[in-house]
Structure 1
Amino acid sequence: MSNEFAGKTAIISGGAGGIGFALAEEFGQLGMNIVIADIDQSQLAEAEQKLQDANVQVLACPLDVTNFQQWQDTVAATQAKFGDIHMLVNNAGVGGVPGSIEDTKLETWKWVMDVNVMGVVNGTQAVGPSMKRHGQGGWIINVASMAGMNGVPYSGAYAASKAAVVSMSESWAAELKKYNIAVSALCPAFVQTRIHESLRNLQPEYKEVKEQGTGGKRSANGVNKAKDLVESGIPTSVLAKRVVEALQSGQAYIFTHPNFRAPIAYRSSLLDAAFADAENSPIVSHLKDDEIKML
């Protein structure tokens, strides 16, 4: 299979570790210029050195994805070193803090949404225009989660943020198709990352979130369970190879865990049943044959 990635440039947020670094390694070995951007500057320097040792053309940029100016700075630095940008991986994200509806602090919701949703918006708004201008097409990979395809009890903020990432990906895929920019939502289940340790990079403005993260036995049990689930997941290197495979076959949704097909199919059956119920409704059944109108 031809290597359409060689010689092109990718920006990867959260690129210093976990999924982001695995993708940096994989695409780097395929000949891409790699820009790793991360809030953890010490880990960023280590990741840069590892990629250099592997003969990958790499640039490391400090980046808090909630800061649009830092995104713009990353784009400028990338263009100065490598020229055109062909791939954006919106990978940086946080897991939130496990908790019930009433126990999840509003500050936790804000933190999760700012990083997981607005971080993706910021990245796409900063990089998208340059990808459209050069006219060569490219790829945007938004890292969502299997949680974005189905809600998860006691993880409402995280699941909601990842559902938003899936929806944004679907919207942008239609919008950017004419520019030959493929948009994919990466929806893994458990992967061996440090997402359960998201509080380690908590920005100062969200300091009150730590109160929930250390909020007694119930919170500790939730964090420990999340740790066990993450550590039981697939290696990041397996995910990275799967991403390349899925891009080459043109997948809009990139799934890494086929064992989740049944629960997602069950959700689809509930949606279909809800449409059937609407078709049988004396109130709205007359709409079933109406033309579907879109913007």
Structure 2
Amino acid sequence: MSNEFSGKTALISGGAGGIGFALAEEFGQLGMKIVIADIDKQQLAEAEQKLQDANIQVLACPLDVTSYQQWQDTVTAAENKFGDIHMLINNAGVGGIPGSVDTTKIETWRWVLDVNVMGVVNGTQATAPSMKRHGQGGWIINVASMAGMNGVAYSGAYAASKAAVVSMSESWAAELKKHNIAVSALCPAFVKTRIHESLRNLQPEYQAVKDQGGPKIASEKRVNSAEALVESGIPPSLLAKRVVEALRSGQRYIFTHPNFRSPIAYRSAKIDTAFADAENSPLVGHLKDDEIVML
């Protein structure tokens, strides 16, 4: 059956497993040509074979998302194989290591931000010119998290990185609208993936991250708790179908867990209360009727 995705090409980082692979399967079944890129070469080869066995046109590319050059090489390989790129899914990410503000190592912050933030920047900067050039429009899906909509105690680096992904998505949505490129932030809660095992693909330059430091017993409890929450999550295949559903209804934010509506509404209410406080302020209240100038 013909649909808006059939015959087009999707490039998916972190596409060898978890959310990325589920999206590869789902969009492949909808007739898209799939480029999966991943740092785990063995899992990448296995994922490629699975997609081929499902009669999905696929190209597999090794990719460390922190390298802009590798992103450029992946885009070139995708264009050489399939032509125009119509969809980019910035999925690759790491969960970091749970820790308090005073025990989380600077190396951990660098690792999480380099992968989760700069990986998305690299992917979009490398792919957007191609998507603009063919003029057919398309989709950019940046995988954030519910943690990007509300801070999470003992996960400051991860939450900050995902908040950045949400903000970048909002910025790029406005910027790329004229090119008919829809940008969405995918903000799931818990999904059954291996994100709690992010250290398995730790790049050599971030090896110091393994020695997180801090109270060992408390840290282990938080790690075990995170693993349990992930294991209780929804299957990636369900998330993938939800993404398709949300794209078809034009959602800028793609939510998978409506039970989180209340805590996010609470945050929104606190923000509104803070604006009311500013309006009542003798210092800045006079600015409430000023024209809003957007750059």
Normalising by structure 1, we get a TM-score of: 0.99
Q: Which residue of 1 aligns with 2:284?
A: 284
Please tell me the residue identity of whatever aligns with 1:26.
E
Q: Distance in 1 between matches of 2:113 and 2:215?
A: 21
Q: Distance in 2 between matches of 1:174 and 1:213?
A: 41
Q: Distance in 2 between matches of 1:78 and 1:181?
A: 19
How far residue 100 of structure 1 moved from its aligned partner, in angstroms, is: 0.5
Structure 1 residues 209 and 261, CA gap change in structure 2 (3 angstroms): same
Residues 145-189 of structure 1 show CA distances to partners (whole Å, capped at 9, x for unaligned) of: 000000000000000000000000000000000000000000000
Residues 162-221 of structure 1 show CA distances to partners (whole Å, capped at 9, x for unaligned) of: 000000000000000000000000000000000000000000000000011897222211
Q: Distance in 1 between matches of 2:216 and 2:259?
A: 34
**C-alpha RMSD of the superposition:** 1.1
Q: Is the 8 A contact 2:103 2:213 kept in 1?
A: no
Please tell me the residue identity of whatever aligns with 1:27.
F
Residues 227-246 of structure 1 show CA distances to partners (whole Å, capped at 9, x for unaligned) of: 00000000000000000000
Q: Is the 8 A contact 2:105 2:209 kept in 1?
A: yes
Q: Which residue of 1 aligns with 2:4?
A: 4
Residues 89-115 of structure 1 show CA distances to partners (whole Å, capped at 9, x for unaligned) of: 000000000000111000000000000
Q: Is the 8 A contact 1:214 1:220 kept in 2?
A: no
Identity of aligned residues (%): 83
Q: Which residue of 1 aligns with 2:70?
A: 70
Q: Is the 8 A contact 1:97 1:213 kept in 2?
A: no
1:140 counterpart SS class: strand
Q: Which residue of 1 aligns with 2:21?
A: 21
Please tell me the residue identity of whatever aligns with 1:174.
A
1:186 counterpart SS class: strand
Q: Which residue of 1 aligns with 2:112?
A: 112
Please tell me the residue identity of whatever aligns with 2:46.
E
Gaps of 5+ in 2: none
Count of aligned pairs between the two proteins: 295
Normalising by structure 2, we get a TM-score of: 0.99
Gaps of 5+ in 1: none
Q: Which residue of 2 aligns with 1:60?
A: 60
Q: Distance in 2 between matches of 1:221 and 1:259?
A: 25
Q: Distance in 2 between matches of 1:280 and 1:2?
A: 56
Q: Distance in 2 between matches of 1:213 and 1:199?
A: 15
Residues 110-158 of structure 1 show CA distances to partners (whole Å, capped at 9, x for unaligned) of: 0000000000000000000110010000000000000000000000000
